[in-house]
Structures are given as structure tokens and as C-alpha cells.
Amino acid sequence: MKRAIPVSIQSGLRKLGADIKKARLRRGLKMELLAQRAGISLETLSKIQKGHPGVSIGHYAGVIFGLGMGTDWMNLASIENDAVGQWIDESKIPKRVRDKKGD
């Protein structure tokens, strides 16, 4: 059974797609050239610009890279940006350290 994608994710992908399209247009790039740079079909690029959720993250990344926008997206889930993960790690630190028997 296929699950519905949350509305917030759908709207976020539509915004990302629209931003990608605007970036392409600002750079004066034809869809054909950007698709070629990203190694994808025109159909896939069109879906990305519409924020289609079925397109792989690799294709989105290829388009972002093809626009010359770098690889900053790679740090989205890094520990530095993961406040919840950092909090969980901190909560696991013992309050004190006891000597082991025999030491």
C-alpha cells in the first residue's frame, strides 16, 4: 500500500523545484544543457522543476551540482546540524565514572 506524502514535504519539494527552475533561468541555461550536465533526461528535469517526490535524491543532487550550486546539501544530516542527535549523545554521557573492580 502506497502511503501519502505529508503536505509539508510536498510543498517543500515544490518550492525546491521552483527554486531550481529559477536558478536555471537566472543562469540562462536551457533545460537540455542542465539535463546533460546532471546526466538525466529532460523528463526527469521537468519533474524536478515541478517538485515531483518520485525523483531520486541523486537526480536532485546532480541538478544542483549542474547549476554550480555546490555540495552544501550534503551536510543537512551531519552531526553539527543534528540538535536532537547531539542531545541524545549528551544524555548518554555518565554522570560519574566509577572504578571497575580489580583496577
pLDDT digits (tens, 9 = 90+) for 15-54: 999 999 999 999 999 999 999 999 999 999 999 999 999 9
79, 72 in Cβ contact below 8 A? no
CA pair distance 75, 80, nearest whole angstrom: 8
49: CB partners within 8 A, 6+ apart: 17, 18, 20, 21, 24
pLDDT digits (tens, 9 = 90+) for 44-89: 999 999 999 999 999 999 999 999 998 888 888 888 888 888 888 8
